[in-house]
Structure 1
Amino acid sequence: HQPWIAAGFVRNRVWDRLHGYTQPTPLNDIDVLAFDPERTDRAFEAEIERQLGTILPGLPFEARNQARMHVKNGDEPYRDVEEALTHWLETPTAVAVCLNRADRFEFLHPFGLNDLLDMIARPTPAGSVKMREFDERM
């Protein structure tokens, strides 16, 4: 059950670099994605946040078990983190990264990386169905 970092944290870091910013955009949170269909309670997410807070104190981690997020989003259950990303609203945030056991970065990007690297915020197919929510996020 490899945790992934995703959403605004990844997008902001990439866009800050592409803009040439020397100071990173302030963090609202660091989205940590997990997937465990056996532990769909909030306590599991709190445990992940607590563990990360011990390793990197003071950072605003927000863990979400994607095995339960389909309920919040009104979708069918997701098979894994990558499928959950396909239900996110905008393409440049539907990118996740983790450090694998070989100490190499691994990426999930169901809509590719072009919008992230071209600094384009467009709705995903799910976002196109929920345009009001997409517009509110922009």
Structure 2
Amino acid sequence: MSTYSSNQEQFMYQTIIKWITDDRWMMDILRNVRSLSLPDSWVCAGFVRSKIWDQLHQIEPRTPLTDIDVVYYDATDLDKKTEKVWEQQLSRIQPELPWSVKNEARMHIVNGIAPYDSTVDAISYFPETATALGVRLDEQDQLILVAPCGLTDVFEMNIRVNPHFLQGRGDMETYTQRIQQKNWQHTWDRLTVVDS
């Protein structure tokens, strides 16, 4: 996980924190997720990435999200039905949102790889470096951002395969098909698909 030690990384980190903190809609979502007290929970992937790319492209209003990805880690309950219960609870709070809740303590079974040891470990295997992002609010209402693959690619608007994804469950064919299907460059025309 990046320690945000360089000045550039620290600037990117603080910029994203400000963008999200200033976004009432995002903060409401983060507070509602926190209210469930899910263990090691984060709102991740497109929720964070799309905000950054919208800001860099000066897109308003926000680009619609196909889902709000909520991930948590609970090795004591691997029942898929439990995830649906949490989705239903979030849907009662904000029924207009496309919630998707996943227990990362279970997802290694779905993905056919060794178990993750935390939610952040699972995020580190997301397909693109620019998607391997998560945010949450702590009890003091401070925003925490994790970026296991760093922030450079998302800020430089590069779409690059995550090496961990390839080491885990992924292959280049699956990744390429995903990029074609997502067609992010149609929405954010300054993106570059980088061959790694």
| TM-score strictly above 0.5 | yes
- 1:89 maps onto 2:161 in alignment: no
- 1:132 maps onto 2:173 in alignment: yes
Match of 1:65 in 2: 103
Equivalent of 1:53 in 68, 91, 104? 91
Q: Distance in 1 between matches of 2:59 and 2:166?
A: 31
TM value normalised by structure 1? 0.94
Deviation at 1:24, TM superposition (A): 1.4
Equivalent of 1:75 in 87, 110, 113? 113
Deviation at 1:108, TM superposition (A): 1.6
Match of 1:17 in 2: 55
Count of residues in Structure 1 that have an aligned counterpart in Structure 2: 138
Deviation string for 1:69-125 (max 9, x for gaps)? Answer: 111111101110111112211111110001111101111211111111111111111
Larger radius of gyration: 2
Q: Distance in 2 between matches of 1:97 and 1:133?
A: 26
Match of 2:72 in 1: 34
Q: Distance in 2 between matches of 1:13 and 1:48?
A: 24
Deviation at 1:32, TM superposition (A): 0.4
SS of structure 1 residue aligned to 2:53? helix
Deviation at 1:5, TM superposition (A): 0.7
Gaps of 5+ in 1: none
- Structure having the higher helix fraction is 2
Deviation string for 1:8-35 (max 9, x for gaps)? Answer: 1211111011100012112110110011
TM value normalised by structure 2? 0.67
Cα RMSD over matched residues? 1.2
Deviation at 1:55, TM superposition (A): 1.8
Q: Distance in 1 between matches of 2:79 and 2:145?
A: 26
Percent of residue pairs bearing the same amino acid type: 38
Moved more, 59-68 or 38-47: 38-47
Do 1:2 and 1:98's aligned partners in 2 also have CA atoms closer than 8 Å?
Answer: no
